[in-house]
C-alpha cells in the first residue's frame, strides 16, 4: 500500500494493490488409490429336491397300500380293524401289525422284501423296492421326521446326488443283510435307508470335525432316532437286520461323499485367471491350503474299499444260497420278539 499523494484540498489519495489470484492455477489432488479386491460370489441357494421327493413318495405308497388293503372287507371273522372310523383306510388288528398298517400280503404286493422271492423267484428288484415301503403309520411318521430333521439339512449342504446315493445304496445294503439272515418273512425296508442317512450324518461330523457345529446336540438327536428305529425293529414287518445294514452302509458312505474342504481352502476352479490371481494375492505370503486333510483322504479311501467290498461279498453269498443264519439260533429275535403284545410269524412264532 502506497502512502498516497496529496490533493489540492489537502486530502490524500491512497492506492491499494490487490494480487490477482485468478492468475494462479492449482492442480487437483490425485484420487486415492483403491485396491482392487475380488469378493467371492455368494453360494447358490439350493432348494432340496431328493429328500422331499422321498418323503412324498413314501406317503403316496403307504396311502395306496392302505387303500388296497381295505381292512373292513378282508378282516377274518372275530377280529376287528383298528380305527374303524377310517373306513377302507383302517388298520389291521394290533396283534397282526402293531405298526398300524396293512396286512403282510399287501406289503408284499407293493414291493416288500422276502429273501426267497429274491433268490428263488428271481425278484432281485425287491432289494431296492423295499426301501419305498413302510410297514405302518408309526414307522412312516418316524422316518419322515428323521428325513425332515436330518435329511433336509444334509441335502442343503451337500446337494442332490450325495444324499440320493446314500439313501438308495444304504437301503440296498440293509436289504442285503436282511435277506441273508431272514429267508422266510416279509419286511418293509424303508427304515434301513433312513438309518443310512443317520449313519452318514454321524460320519459327516467325524470327518469334518473342525467345521462341524453343535456336535453334541446333533449326535444326541441322531442316537434318539436310531434307538426308536431299533425299537420298531423288534416288531413284525420291520427288520433290525435291515436297520443295522443300512446304518453301517450309510456310515461308510458318509466318509466318501460328505467331506468338506478344510478351513482356508480357496476354490478357484470356477474363476477366471485374473480373478484367481487377485484372490490368491490376498494371502500371498502364506502357502496355499489344500482342499482336504490327509486323514480325510485316508478315511474316504478306506471307507469306499470297505463298503464296495462288503456289498459285492453280500450279493455273492446271497445268490449262492449260503445260510448265514444256520449257526445263530437267536438271531431271528433281533427282528421280532414274541410275547410283547403282538404275534411273530414263522420261525418267530410265540411258543
What local confidence, expressed as pLDDT, does residue 19 receive? 53
What is this structure's pTM?
0.79
> How many Å apart are CA 10 and CA 305, to the nearest integer?
119
Q: Which residues on neighbouring strands pair with residue 113, listed in sequence order?
A: 187
Q: What is the DSSP string of 320-345?
A: HT--TTTT-TTGGGGT--SSSSSPPP
CB atoms within 10 A of CB 146: 23
DSSP letter at 212 equals -
CA distances from 102 to 215, 235, 302 (A): 39, 14, 42
Q: Name the average pLDDT for the chain.
A: 79
Name the band, by pLDDT with cuts 50, 70 and 90, for residue 349: very low
| Least confident window among 165-174, 247-256, 335-344 | 335-344
> How many Å apart are CA 117 and CA 108, to the nearest integer?
10
Is the pLDDT higher at 305 or at 184? Answer: 305
Q: Which residues on neighbouring strands pair with residue 188, listed in sequence order?
A: 238
DSSP letter at 238 equals B
What would the grid cell of residue 243 be? Answer: 436297520
CA distances from 217 to 214, 224, 286 (A): 6, 11, 35
CATH code of 50-62+111-257+307-348, in short, is 1.20.1540.10
**Inter-axis angle of helices 294-320 and 240-257, nearest 10:** 140
Cα-only R_g, the chain: 35
Residues 227-268 have pLDDT tens digits of 998 888 887 778 888 899 999 999 999 999 998 877 655 555
CB atoms within 10 A of CB 350: 12
The highest-confidence range among 26-30, 295-299, 344-348, by mean pLDDT, is 295-299
The highest-confidence range among 97-101, 232-236, 253-257, 339-343, by mean pLDDT, is 253-257
> How many Å apart are CA 339 and CA 23, to the nearest integer?
111
Coil, strand or helix: which one is 14?
A: coil
What average pLDDT does this structure show over 186-200? 90
> How many Å apart are CA 262 and CA 349, to the nearest integer?
53
Residues 14-49 have pLDDT tens digits of 555 555 555 555 556 666 554 444 454 455 677 889
- The answer for residues whose C-beta is within 8 angstroms of residue 54's C-beta and 6 or more apart is 147, 151, 167
Contact call for residues 196 and 171 (beta carbons, < 8 A): yes
> How many Å apart are CA 311 and CA 16, to the nearest integer?
106
Is the pLDDT higher at 183 or at 65? Answer: 65
What local confidence, expressed as pLDDT, does residue 7 receive? 54
Amino acid at each position: 500500500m502506497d502512502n498516497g499523494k496529496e490533493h489540492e484540498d489537502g486530502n490524500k489519495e491512497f492506492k491499494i494493490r490487490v494480487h490477482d489470484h485468478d492468475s494462479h492455477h492449482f492442480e487437483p489432488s490425485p484420487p486415492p488409490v483403491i485396491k482392487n479386491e475380488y469378493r467371492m460370489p455368494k453360494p447358490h441357494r439350493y432348494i432340496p429336491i431328493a429328500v422331499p421327493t422321498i418323503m412324498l413318495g413314501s406317503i403316496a405308497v403307504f396311502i395306496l397300500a392302505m387303500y388296497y388293503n381295505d381292512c373292513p372287507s378282508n378282516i377274518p371273522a372275530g377280529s376287528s380293524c383298528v380305527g374303524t372310523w377310517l373306513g377302507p383306510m383302517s388298520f389291521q388288528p394290533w396283534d397282526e401289525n402293531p405298526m398300524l398298517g396293512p396286512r403282510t400280503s399287501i406289503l408284499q404286493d407293493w414291493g416288500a422284501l422276502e429273501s426267497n422271492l429274491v433268490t428263488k423267484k428271481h425278484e432281485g428288484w425287491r432289494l431296492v423296492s423295499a426301501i419305498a415301503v413302510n410297514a405302518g403309520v408309526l414307522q412312516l411318521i418316524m422316518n419322515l421326521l428323521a428325513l425332515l430333521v436330518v435329511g433336509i439339512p444334509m441335502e442343503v449342504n451337500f446337494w442332490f446326488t450325495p444324499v440320493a446315493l446314500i439313501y438308495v445304496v444304504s437301503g440296498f445294503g440293509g436289504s442285503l443283510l436282511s435277506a441273508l439272515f431272514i429267508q422266510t418273512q416279509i419286511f418293509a425296508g424303508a427304515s434301513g435307508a433312513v438309518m443310512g442317512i443317520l449313519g452318514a450324518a454321524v460320519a459327516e461330523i467325524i470327518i469334518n470335525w473342525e467345521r462341524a457345529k453343535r456336535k453334541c446336540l446333533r449326535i444326541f438327536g441322531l442316537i434318539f432316532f436310531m434307538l426308536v428305529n431299533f425299537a420298531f425293529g423288534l416288531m413284525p414287518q420291520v427288520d433290525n437286520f435291515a436297520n443295522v445294514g443300512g446304518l453301517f452302509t450309510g456310515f461308510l458312505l458318509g466318509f466318501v461323499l460328505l467331506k468338506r474342504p478344510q478351513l482356508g481352502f480357496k476354490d478357484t476352479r470356477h474363476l477366471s485367471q485374473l480373478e484367481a490371481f487377485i484372490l490368491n494375492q490376498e494371502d500371498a505370503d502364506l502357502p496355499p491350503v489344500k482342499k482336504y486333510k490327509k486323514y480325510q483322504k485316508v478315511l474316504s479311501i478306506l471307507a469306499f474299499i470297505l463298503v464296495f467290498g462288503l456289498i459285492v461279498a453280500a450279493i455273492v453269498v446271497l445268490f449262492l444260497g449260503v445260510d448265514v443264519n444256520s449257526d445263530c439260533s437267536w438271531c431271528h429275535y433281533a427282528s421280532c420278539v414274541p410275547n410283547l403284545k403282538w404275534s411273530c410269524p414263522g420261525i418267530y412264532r410265540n411258543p
